[in-house]
Amino acid sequence: MRLITSVIAAITLLPALCLAAAQPAQDACREAFQTNMVEAALAACEPLAEQGDGEAAFLAARTYSLHFDDFQSQANALKWLKVARQAGLAEAGYYLGLAYQHGQGTYIDLDKAIDAYRFSANRNNPHAQRNLGMLYKEGNGVPRDGAKAFELISRSAKAGIIDSQLTAGVMLLRGEGVEKDERLGHSWIKQAAVAGNQDAQLALGIMYSDLDIEASINWYEQAAAQDNPYALYHLAILYLKGLRVPQDLQKAREYARHSAELGHLSSSTLLQSIDERLAQISPEERAAKAEAEAAKPVLTDKLKSELIPQPKHTPKTKVVIKTTTPPKPAKPAAAPKPPKPAKPAKPAKPATPPKVTVAVASPPVEKTQEKAAKKAPEATAKVSTKNLTSGKRLTSISKPAPVAAPQTVSGLQSLEWILLQPGKEYLTQLVQLATLEQVDAYIRQHKLAGKVIYFPARTQLGDVYIVLFRTGVTRIKKARIISRKALPASLVDSAWIRPFNSLQKAVGPAQ
């Protein structure tokens, strides 16, 4: 009887003992994956995956996908994704759907892709909702169903997926699968554009072209700064024809050339047409136009007052100027006529200037100028932040000497700091917000204190703060891994991972 009782007790405790034994192995699997220790991750995760551990299977699958490109590794990833999906992981269903839709480690099978996406979408995975919605929108593998497509895509958009916001906005503008609502559609598209989606920026450029040409050009230039060939083409057309903007053939040529280099065929034809127009302009006319452009002030008076340090007010001083060749007094006229006033001395020629003795009350002019000259190099560089996110390059900047970037930097930074960062290093651009209060709330909400950097930008649509995460690496795949490790996955999925030189190109000074 006592033996039977002991056996029953042992059987009762067995699940708890197994769980306790598995816990260190699960921790080792998770830690190796998060620290990019590829061999250690596979060694720790695959044995657990063999036992049906869903998280370990998913981490093994992602390790193969992120670090290997050969077909066998993709097949291994597919195998472990099936195990993870069987364990109920919604994200595994999304990646499994991608594998079947695009033939990664297997043949293309839309039926299996749709089944995997539906499994994940029903568990509120926004990426699966977007992909499944697009299949319904296009009638690809399923009957075309605009209402079902909009339902899925709008759920994804509300979850923060940027390209879903653009698609939902366009569907609302067209009344595709939903009642037409231009105001709400414009709102969704603008939200995607502000987040950095170049297709949304292009769409706004087209939408504003007949309403507000400055806003239209602003959005075109934001997309052009991301090398969008269509935005570059539209800008070339605007400046070639002088459509509500001054005609500028040189600017039109530059936009057309850039677009053509990116493979836009119509821009190649347009570039040839612009070159023919330029060839008809005489060298004299071209030189006169260039001289007129050069004579234009770089900054407006208002911007100068905001950006250029103003000298402190000093009390006016009387200056007595004595020359070695004073003017001769006029001869007195016959009475009763008053005497003629003295004629002013003619200004001396530059080659032989007259000697001048300057007597100054206080402070001395020469010493004041000398002190100002000494202080000038120490003045902090002032930069115009106008159109920071519009793609317009700044026209004037005094760059300080490069300095080594600190190892750990967070919080509010200046534009100068952005310009001094290594151009090949990748950053993760998270969001643009209107006020510091919104930035603080965003950081608190997502627990980003000490992790992110933000800096102010002045655009034609108002002042914003751009929030970014610095990765410290020069490979986009590693940057994505580091970002996923340090930031919430929901933010990284909708973020824009780009090199610093991409940002610097948009905001740096014109060469």
Helix axes 229-241 and 213-224, enclosed angle (nearest 10): 140
Q: What is the pLDDT of residues 382-409, one digit of tens each?
A: 333 333 333 333 333 333 333 333 345 7
The mean pLDDT of 56-67, rounded to a whole number, is 92
Half-sphere exposure of 149 (CA within 13 A, CB side): 23
The mean pLDDT of 411-422, rounded to a whole number, is 83
Q: What is the pLDDT of residues 439-456, one digit of tens each?
A: 887 888 788 888 898 888
Question: CB–CB of 105/76 below 8 Å?
Answer: yes
For the record, the structure tokens of 54 come out as: 């869903």
pLDDT at 385: 34
The mean pLDDT of 146-168, rounded to a whole number, is 94
pTM, to two decimals: 0.53
Where residue 142 falls (left for φ over 0; alpha for ψ -120 to 50; beta otherwise) is beta
Confidence of residue 8 (pLDDT cuts 50, 70, 90): low
The mean pLDDT of 325-352, rounded to a whole number, is 50
Residue 484 three-state SS: helix
Using the predicted structure, report yes or no on whether residue 278 has a pLDDT greater than 80: yes
Using the predicted structure, report yes or no on whether residue 493 has a pLDDT greater than 80: no
Lowest-pLDDT choice from 177-181, 183-187, 471-475: 471-475
What percent of the chain has a predicted confidence (pLDDT) above 90?
Answer: 37
Question: CB–CB of 231/220 below 8 Å?
Answer: yes
Q: What is the spatial distance between Cα 248 and Cα 231, in angstroms, rounded to a whole number?
A: 17
Q: What is the pLDDT of residues 218-276, one digit of tens each?
A: 999 999 999 999 999 999 999 998 878 888 999 999 999 999 988 888 888 899 889 98
The mean pLDDT of 325-345, rounded to a whole number, is 51
pLDDT at 447: 81
Using the predicted structure, report yes or no on whether residue 151 has a pLDDT greater than 90: yes
**Strand ranges (DSSP E) for 28-112?**
none
Using the predicted structure, report yes or no on whether residue 302 has a pLDDT greater than 50: no
